[in-house]
Structure 1
């Protein structure tokens, strides 16, 4: 069995050390969020963008990043990861700044309601409300959706909702190590379930918090791999990582999209782990390469046509 390189393992160990034992020793959401709030954070100088503003998107908080390229810049609606339970606008602020600067797009980061207080369908409905707001606030602009992990679930669910509800039109979707299947039944969940930062215990706890009603686990708006009709979805950029428990789910989604006639540009990073795209600033060359490729896809898809 292959193992991460020493450099990658050191980052996995560092990330793990700053993450609580979810689903085993720690299950109370207030305690978990207090743990995250109390974590020491190294001082970071935010990447400068022309404008950053917290706004109200019809009742859903969003943060809008204006790269200052031109007045009619395209829009990327971004949904952050965190298992539908953790993370927020602050946790993904640096990534969204980098995304705006690299693509020249206005990035709208969505602060959707989180489980367990607000289980499915609160998160996708909030994301869809924000999408409608973005389409109205920035009329006649090309719109993409993107997200990481649970946020990638919400991004692709947005393409289903937009198709089924008659809009807004989404020109492409970018899915970074998506969390798509509550059954957690594919081999990578066993092969990578421990020791690679994201664990099988985390995923079980996340899904239980997000989908307490068992009947929702086959709803395509919650679990897009549960037999959803994927026809008519926009071109897709999909990233998977070799040491990620979600690896096989992402690759199964690639196959399902392709079978449905959706153009897919898939990139698999065999030596990487869940969450690696946000670690380009930690001296991880593979993350910098993957980020450049991912942002390049969005820039090309949203450019002049």
Structure 2
């Protein structure tokens, strides 16, 4: 267990909305609990952020965030977490608004299809369709995702590299990503009963998703050829079974010559993004994420274009 008072208060508040054994409940109940939890940690948007909702390909709901001051033409694509089972445009709404405002970039969030109603590769296909819209329009993109969304973001980069168009993605920011590590070793064993996410939860989400075990897009740690992937920022939480997925992926990217920044939050737990307004560690972690995304877009921390 962490010792930081802010993150402990966050965990106590989460427990009041989302029980530790939530995955044993029906899908409908899981989503009801998750929606209530997310609403509790959803402050108002920063001043000047404008949003609009629309459909891509007449079927994929997206939400676009435009801050009052744009510092870059690079687009941000945000893919939400939730184990591929829960989550929506509303669940990560304030997170997306604050990233767009901090970076000074237009951000698009994707409401991809969820399991178990839609199994793999439905989620990936939806995100890919939105990304390709940007690519076909000649836009440069930074893909961002947390947890399951981090998996999807990393998988999009692997897919783009396989197909020869990864140059359109100028960066990837992965927040406590699920990348397909061995559930019997490392942090999956050490943090099996960590607060907020357990190893058995991760196993449940994998089983619900039904992705083939040898699919490198579904499990990016399996990718054989990663040289040429976009620059990456990867941040993980110390008290999280997914921790070593991010550690291992960052190390592999570095060995392959990919520019990578790795950050481990020593007092954080899974889903700490929601604690950014009540935990010092989460506040610092969120600032680091926004700073890294700014760098990936070519904007320095002073809000100016990098040389």
Both proteins in one fold, TM over 0.5: yes
Change (3 A) 1:23 1:200: farther
> Which whole-Å CA distance do the structure 2 matches of 1:261 and 1:79 have between them?
26
Q: 1:64-83 residue pairs with structure 2 within 5 A?
A: 64-70=64-70, 73-83=73-83
Would you say the 8 A contact 1:75–1:141 is kept in 2?
A: yes
> Which whole-Å CA distance do the structure 1 matches of 2:292 and 2:24 have between them?
41
> Which whole-Å CA distance do the structure 1 matches of 2:142 and 2:204 have between them?
30
Q: 1:108-123 residue pairs with structure 2 within 5 A?
A: 108-123=108-123
Name the structure 1 match of 2:165. 167
Would you say the 8 A contact 1:198–1:274 is kept in 2?
A: yes
Name the structure 2 match of 1:126. 126
1:297 aligns with 2:292: yes
Change (3 A) 1:37 1:273: closer
Tell me which of 236, 239, 242 is aligned to 1:240: 236
Change (3 A) 1:62 1:205: same
**Deviations 1:225-254, CA, capped at 9 Å, x for gaps:** 124421210110000111011111110111
**Deviations 1:32-85, CA, capped at 9 Å, x for gaps:** 223334569448433334420111112321111011324963201110000111
> Which whole-Å CA distance do the structure 1 matches of 2:185 and 2:204 have between them?
17
> Which whole-Å CA distance do the structure 2 matches of 1:229 and 1:23 have between them?
37
> Which whole-Å CA distance do the structure 2 matches of 1:70 and 1:113 have between them?
30
Name the structure 1 match of 2:219. 223
- What is the DSSP-based 3-state SS (H/G/I as helix, E as strand, rest coil) of the residue aligned with 2:131? helix
> Which whole-Å CA distance do the structure 2 matches of 1:40 and 1:251 have between them?
27
Deviates more, 1:150-159 or 1:225-234: 225-234
> Which whole-Å CA distance do the structure 2 matches of 1:222 and 1:7 have between them?
34
**Deviations 1:96-130, CA, capped at 9 Å, x for gaps:** 00010011111010111111111111111111101
1:256 aligns with 2:252: yes
Instruction: Output the TM-score relative to the length of structure 1.
Output: 0.89
Name the structure 1 match of 2:15. 16
Gaps (5+ residues) in structure 2?
299-304
> Which whole-Å CA distance do the structure 2 matches of 1:13 and 1:30 have between them?
23
- Number of residue pairs matched by the alignment: 297
> Which whole-Å CA distance do the structure 1 matches of 2:14 and 2:36 have between them?
15
Change (3 A) 1:69 1:193: same
Q: 1:45-194 residue pairs with structure 2 within 5 A?
A: 45-58=44-57, 59-70=59-70, 73-136=73-136, 139-167=137-165, 169-181=168-180, 183-194=182-193
Change (3 A) 1:34 1:241: closer
Q: 1:23-38 residue pairs with structure 2 within 5 A?
A: 25-26=24-25, 28-37=26-35
> Which whole-Å CA distance do the structure 2 matches of 1:165 and 1:221 have between them?
12
Name the structure 1 match of 2:275. 279
Change (3 A) 1:97 1:67: same
Change (3 A) 1:38 1:294: closer
Change (3 A) 1:30 1:264: same
Quote the offset at 1:13 in angstroms: 2.6
Quote the offset at 1:201 in angstroms: 2.4
Structure 1 stretches of at least 4 aligned residues deviating more than 3 Å after TM superposition? 20-25, 34-44
